[in-house]
Amino acid sequence: MDHPIFSLFSASAFRLCLELFAVERPLNPTSNHPPGIRRAIRISGLVAVLLLPVAAGASPSLLGQWTSIITRHQPEQRVVAVYDRLGRVTREAGGNLLGSLAFTLRHENDSLTDDQGARSWEGGVDLPLKVFGQRGAFGRLADLYPELRSRHLRWLEWQSVGIARTLLDELLERRIRLDHTLDAEAQAHRLHELVALRERTGDASRLDLLLARRNLSQARAATVGARADLRKAVEAAALWGIELDEEAVRRLDPAPPVPPRFEGDPGELLRQHPRYRWIAARNDLQLGRLDLSLWESRPGSELFFGARRDRADGVSADTALILELRVPLGEAPAWRTASAERDQQRLQLQAELSAAERELRQNLTEARQSVDRAHRLLPVVREQLEAAESALDLSRQAYRAGDIGLQELLIAQRQQLEAQLEYALAEADLARQIRRLNQAAGILP
């Protein structure tokens, strides 16, 4: 949460969290609310802590630790590691003038078989003057690599935290579902014992006992399936170097996600997004390479500096220094083509960056809408759970009084368990959507 732009969230979402918190504060073990609601709240307990601030200077969060582990397993880490070498080699190439020099040696003689007659030796060095402009292009290109390395690493970290958030959400959901099946199995076991007792006293039929036994078997089978699904999620995390077991998943206690806050146009926030900054840096590097190619194809003047020595029979040797400047009279076709391609490529890169910003903006909008929908859904699901709890209590009383059969009680119990699971998943989904909003906003832990 080190971004300078974001804080808690929009004022409306903040007030809604306060309203939800005010409603749920009385739900403690001594309250008059049905016990199922208290169990559901204990399963995730997210809403009451969503507003807790993150302490400054705290130890790395769970997501931060997972992000570091996943980043080390990213294959592109090896690409990031070579940027320093590329920058150093590029700078050295720009300072290597000897690679641009050409040595010329020429000898002239009017006789092929002896050394009589006129003879001439000429030697010198050719220096393309455009090499000084190329040195500047090499230097500007080398200056881009450190920033490219930083932004590429930040982009990899953003990808890694996205993977970490997805893994965490999946593990927490599987844990909720396993807790739900364990709770359902416990309820089925208690009901089976009650029916068995009533069957021995003659208050329940043999058919009721068979129904209770079947209900217990189904609950145990659901627990086996939920535990297998949790193991699959654990194995998926292990592929990224995150080693967990069922007990470790039960001990997971991630920090409550804090949504960002931005008002009006989020353009400034998006321009600080790791993906946007990585694309911009990559485009700058491509333009720098095009600038260098343009210098290489550009027609340039050449300077020749050398000496000439002439000798003839009976005449003293004559020595002269030579300074020659060659200036092209027109533009080379290759340079004109390269210049036009560079302008076209610049426009193409600008269009790609704008498209990436639009995509990020769309993702951010959808994520905000998902958080708002999750906020609004939670109180509705809570009302359904309250109604299901009340119906189950009445059904239990009616069953003990002999007013209804076991089938009706099983239906009420199943509806209560489904409502309890739905409420717990709704709480977890609120945290999931906030984490997705942070991901869309480019926020790293």
Specify the pLDDT at position 25. Answer: 33
pLDDT digits (tens, 9 = 90+) for 7-44: 333 434 434 443 433 333 333 333 344 444 444 433 33
Residue 249's pLDDT band (cuts 50, 70, 90): very high
Least confident among 56-65, 130-139, 264-273, 381-390 = 56-65
Decide if pLDDT at 173 tops 50.
yes
Decide if pLDDT at 400 tops 80.
yes
Q: Position of tokens 């390479």? A: 289
Specify the pLDDT at position 112. Answer: 64
> Is 11-102+131-301+342-440 in CATH node 1.20.1600.10?
yes
- In a 13 Å sphere around the CA of 242, the CA atoms on its Cβ side amount to 29
Q: Which residues neighbour 440 within 8 Å (Cβ) at sequence distance 6 or greater? A: 360, 363, 364, 366, 367
Q: For residue 111, how many other CB atoms are within 10 A of its CB?
A: 10
CA separation, residue 3 to residues 7, 89, 340 (Å): 9, 34, 40
CA 264 to chain CA mean position, Å = 24
How far apart CA 344 and CA 33 sit, in angstroms, is 68
Does 59 or 377 have the greater pLDDT score? 377
How far apart CA 152 and CA 280 sit, in angstroms, is 11
Q: Which residues neighbour 10 within 8 Å (Cβ) at sequence distance 6 or greater? A: 261, 263
Q: Which of 88-97, 205-214, 317-326, 334-343 has the highest mean pLDDT?
A: 205-214
Decide if pLDDT at 393 tops 50.
yes
For 160, the token pair is 């890694």
Our CA dihedral for 84, 89, 95, 97, rounded to 10 degrees, sits at 180
Output phi, psi for 158, to 5 deg. -65, -40
Q: Name residue 46's amino acid.
A: L
Q: Which residues neighbour 330 within 8 Å (Cβ) at sequence distance 6 or greater? A: 299
For 441, the token pair is 């906003």
Specify the pLDDT at position 57. Answer: 35
pTM assigned to the model? 0.73
Residue ranges of E strands in 273-372: 302-312, 315-326
Specify the pLDDT at position 352. Answer: 92
How far apart CA 226 and CA 214 sit, in angstroms, is 18
For 417, the token pair is 């368990």
- Provide mean pLDDT across the span 158-167: 95
How far apart CA 293 and CA 68 sit, in angstroms, is 38
Q: Position of tokens 């099983």? A: 410
Least confident among 18-22, 216-220, 441-445 = 18-22
Decide if pLDDT at 45 tops 60.
no
Specify the pLDDT at position 10. Answer: 40
How far apart CA 378 and CA 72 sit, in angstroms, is 38
pLDDT digits (tens, 9 = 90+) for 91-120: 887 776 656 677 788 877 776 666 666 778
Share of residues in the chain with pLDDT > 90 (%): 44
Cβ contact 123:104 at 8 Å: yes
For 345, the token pair is 């490529």
Q: Position of tokens 């092209």? A: 328
Cβ contact 385:423 at 8 Å: yes
Q: Which spans in 241-315 are helix H?
A: 246-250, 267-271, 274-297
How far apart CA 138 and CA 295 sit, in angstroms, is 10
Q: Which residues neighbour 311 within 8 Å (Cβ) at sequence distance 6 or greater? A: 118, 119, 120, 317, 318
Cβ contact 274:154 at 8 Å: yes
Q: Which residues neighbour 258 within 8 Å (Cβ) at sequence distance 6 or greater? A: 1, 8, 9, 50, 53, 54, 434, 438
Q: Name residue 330's amino acid.
A: G
Specify the pLDDT at position 129. Answer: 64
Decide if pLDDT at 319 tops 90.
no
Q: What is the overall mean pLDDT for the chain?
A: 80
How far apart CA 395 and CA 402 sit, in angstroms, is 10
Cβ contact 31:389 at 8 Å: no
The secondary structure element, H or E, covering residue 44 is helix 35-44
3-state secondary structure of 120: strand
Domain chopping of the chain, boundaries:
11-102+131-301+342-440
How far apart CA 330 and CA 333 sit, in angstroms, is 9
Decide if pLDDT at 347 tops 50.
yes
Does 299 or 153 have the greater pLDDT score? 153
Does 173 or 317 have the greater pLDDT score? 173
| Residue 418: closest CA among 42, 36, 20 | 36
